[in-house]
Structure 1
């Protein structure tokens, strides 16, 4: 059975080679480098503008943060607590939830993947 990320991630200091796209296969694009990811305010009254911001952030960064989403802080806290409890389970219990088949080597579809920093 494949090892779970949670069982080795705390001991790893670099990205495993199997997850690194070879230099010759990487996209040659200029990706903006910044310390902040885009922030999208979901309370804005113009839903078309919100959709445009989500699309642009997804295309340019591959990630974004939402604010004013309406999810109660208590619920967010509960979800984080459950996630923390889940990943602190013994490996034997976590293996029950792992997929049975081995994962294939990582090979991104370079035509469809979001832009990334290399």
Structure 2
């Protein structure tokens, strides 16, 4: 199983980037690989229409450390943990997302990595526009 850390540097305050990224109402704006429509909170879970079909998402509680880890329960019932960090960076903030191959083929893993990179780029653009 391979892991890959994808990151983007955002020219905005790390706390503002974290606040934007952790607001579930913003997920469809930047996380197209996860949310394609409105996110519906149900208790501490989120019901999301994703490219994979309906999924549930559980984020770690908001925190002062920039941790946005979340578990995604896929339509198959499998749960995937996605570590994300918003870190201070000399140019503002750096958002780091770790993807794991798990039982994906090499082609699926590369496709997943490309989708996450696009999501991070959308997050960067939105935060540089709205979080500065």
Structure 1-normalised TM-score? 0.25
Specify the structure having the higher radius of gyration (Cα). 1
Higher RCO (CA < 8 A, seq sep 6+) = 1
